[in-house]
Structure 1
């Protein structure tokens, strides 16, 4: 075996072993309802059924979170059918390391196996059948993170929702395999990583950038407006600050101080690299926080959530929310309440 072949074999072995430590075990159960609730708490609400009555459920899930990126490993032990609600707020990459699954999404279908992953988009209508023995790595990336990263690469707002192709030959993408290993290493070596906001933000952007460059989507052929994918330091500094202080009152002069630049330079940096103004970026972040609370199912009323995130003009807030998400805040609350 050549050195390169040996290295590839070692890399493949490491992928098969990712995320199996007992410290990352989220749950183990043979109860169908408990399994559905525990998986739904990490992913999305769904209907779960045994595909064959003669088989016994033996579910096990491992999980680690990195802010807007999470890595999980899930097996059911038995053949199961899964009908998830639309993911809405995230993209999901499902990578079998053993066994296979039949994935139906928006009229398309694939037989996913250890070479072919499935990528689910936020608004997809999905039906799945995981076969007995199927064991999958699952990388979840928030919709906001991936869309922000793409806007930064393109240099202008998106004309239509970002959609990835359903089938993804993930093992053929070296950068993607390295990303998985890196995330697994971070989980073991840096258990307090989530406390370091700046490092965490860089990791999130790395994951989104690798996803966008490794797998085909409807913007794959679009030409970036700027040759560099890395944001200028003063733009990145303000972006990180807004992420950490989104719940606080913020002015443009305050952001200029954070950036260490003039207001004019700050506006120009955001416009050229993110396609929006700093305050529009903040507005979008706050809308995302509102939606996350409404989708989470714990909110009691829209007004309280909106006020908590700085929206005092309910009419304008509702209009902006519907324009972005295609439904009113009240409709989101009723559907998830």
Structure 2
């Protein structure tokens, strides 16, 4: 059954089919299909349940950092048992057909007007009709939980859990976002050339889902941006402020924070807009400026730069001028 072209999903239905460069695979083999889908999602059980039906699977895919958008159909009635998704959340929007989705203790009959939002920590099992064709948005769990932490201004005391059913066509913001993602899937080239845009799209997806779909933190008031700093980010900031004069390695900062190096950098990126080492560099620039404003110093600008770890004078002068609007020597002259 094809979706009539007058329905809101019709544009999405046509677009993903018109993007051959995004086709991840096409296969009639159950084991091959299971393995290829697992590369994008996670290992799972896949079985044909529709009598003597033959698999005609096809998947399109676009990766956007901590977010990805895919389109998947099996061409046969199948059961899918991934268990707990663990490290990602999954929004599944049927373009045609239907799917029975069990997540935790809830069960949903999903269809083109009713999407499913599967929470990462809940056991999940699905049964797709033979004509089921789904558009799916995958969001990394650590990233989505960091975005929620930013909104609340505190660390989470329970796993994030969404309501299972989402009437996505009644949510204009989410529907427009999905159309935008599909447009990128159809038209954009190598996404590694658009890192800034990818980062913005990641945040748009996360914030849109958190605002459009009910979850167990929905009733809590949002915090002001100035109060939003996770404990591990604050801990490292305080350490850098106190030890800006010392030789500091990123690995040591991760140990102090008690998180992985990747999580540390992600936390600083999300909440400070810069890396921990750039944060340290800015502290040192501020300290160097303070020394220059304190009055004449022996050795002049060079000695101040070296004191705060800037061995390349040209680079120090350029970064200093970019940050303060004047060169180090100009600061020293006006004291």
TM-score by length of 2: 0.67
SS in 2 for 1:17: helix
Does residue 265 of structure 2 align to residue 242 of structure 1?
Answer: yes
Q: CA deviation at 1:195?
A: 3.3
Matched, 1:137 2:161: no
Provide the aligned length of Structure 1 versus Structure 2. Answer: 248
Mean CA deviation greater in 83-92 or 195-204: 195-204
2:11 aligned partner: 14
SS at match of 1:133: coil
Q: Which residue of 2 aligns with 1:255?
A: 279
CA RMSD of aligned residues (A): 3.3
Report the 3-state secondary structure (helix = DSSP H, G, I; strand = E; otherwise coil) of the residue aligned with 2:208.
helix
Shift of 1:125: 0.7
Q: Is the 8 A contact 1:186 1:193 kept in 2?
A: no
Residues 50 and 78, structure 1, Cα contact 8 Å, conserved in 2: yes
Give SS of 2:84's match. Answer: coil
Deviations 1:290-314 (A, max 9, x none): xxxxxxxxxxxxxxxxxxxxxxxxx
Question: Which ranges in structure 1 are unaligned for 5 or more consecutive residues?
Answer: 1-7, 264-337
CA distance in 1, matches of 2:28, 2:200: 38
Evaluate the alpha carbon distance shift between residue 197 and residue 83 of structure 1 in structure 2; reply closer, same or farther with a 3 A threshold. Answer: same
Structure 2, unaligned stretches of length 5 or more?
238-261, 288-335
CA distance in 2, matches of 1:261, 1:87: 44
In structure 2, the residue matched to 1:56 is 54
Paired residue for 1:35, among 33, 47, 53? 33
Look at both structures and tell me which one has the larger radius of gyration over its CA atoms.
Answer: 2
Q: Which structure 2 residues correspond to residues 275-314 of structure 1 after superposition, within 5 A?
A: none
- Most deviating of 11-20 and 140-149: 11-20
d(CA) in 2 for partners of 1:22 and 1:64? 12
Aligned position for 2:87: 89
8 Å contact kept, 1:147–1:162: yes
In structure 2, do the counterparts of structure 1 residues 185 and 241 end up closer, same or farther at CA, with 3 Å as the change threshold? Answer: farther
Task: Check conservation: 2:87, 2:141, Cα contact below 8 A.
Answer: yes
TM-score (norm 1): 0.66
